[in-house]
Amino acid sequence: MIADLPADIHDLKGFLSSAEGEALYRHALQASTRGPVLEIGSYCGKSTIYLGLACRANDSTVFALDHHRGSEEHQPGEFFHDPELYDTGEALFDSFREFRRNIRAAGLDETVVPVVAGSAAAARHWHTPLSMLFIDGGHSLDAALADYRCWSGHLLRGGILAIHDLFEDAHAGGQAPIAIYRMALESGLFEAVERADSLGVLRRL
């Protein structure tokens, strides 16, 4: 059981299964004793809540990085577009209001630090070592590679790298996340720790 997990967590907008959320929580609970956690791709905050509850238990921090304009698949006319998250006045996708509402309702305003920016821009002057990195941002190959290359070097030795949406079969899902997962393994800098549904968890050696 996860203490203080919102009763409506499964109703929040997002693509994280219960098994994936529980795995994130377990690894963040251990990792965040050593430093902050950074998440790339917060969307409406479902995964952020699992990470945030773990970090709060250790008086640590989650940096929740997302430009909140949606990935390619969230745009109008695409498969995962949600009209409720589309700002008609600005003619732009915007998940930030929903994200803030969910984080506040979970009581995590003092634990979660939103970073509203693109991944590369946020990484440009980043110097804080990370105990855990969760990559769940854009699923194009360029976006996934940028997330991995910009941020994996900030992980402490022994730190956790978690990557969402791993699909061996291209018919089941995009191949960019599993490409960077394999890249991490082939680098010799990471070892596989766990798989939970489409979540892969590695540890930096």
Task: Report pTM.
Answer: 0.94
pLDDT tens-digit profile, the chain (205 residues): 898 999 999 999 999 999 999 999 999 999 999 999 999 999 999 999 999 999 999 999 999 999 998 777 776 766 677 777 777 776 677 899 999 999 999 999 999 999 999 999 999 999 999 999 999 998 899 999 999 999 999 999 999 999 999 999 887 788 999 999 999 999 999 999 999 999 999 999 9
Q: Which domains, from first to last, does the chain contain?
A: 20-204 (3.40.50.150)
Three-state SS annotation for the chain: CCCCCCCCHHHCCCCCCHHHHHHHHHHHHHHCCCCCEEEECCCCCHHHHHHHHHHHHCCCCEEEECCCCCCHHHCCCCCCCCHHHEECCCCEECCHHHHHHHHHHCCCCCCEEEECCCHHHHHCCCCCCEEEEEECCCCCHHHHHHHHHHHHHHEEEEEEEEECCCCCCCCCCCCHHHHHHHHHHHCCCEEEEEEECCEEEEEEC
From 27, 67, 139, 164, active-site residue: 139
Told to judge if 139 belongs to the known catalytic residues of this protein, a careful annotator would answer yes
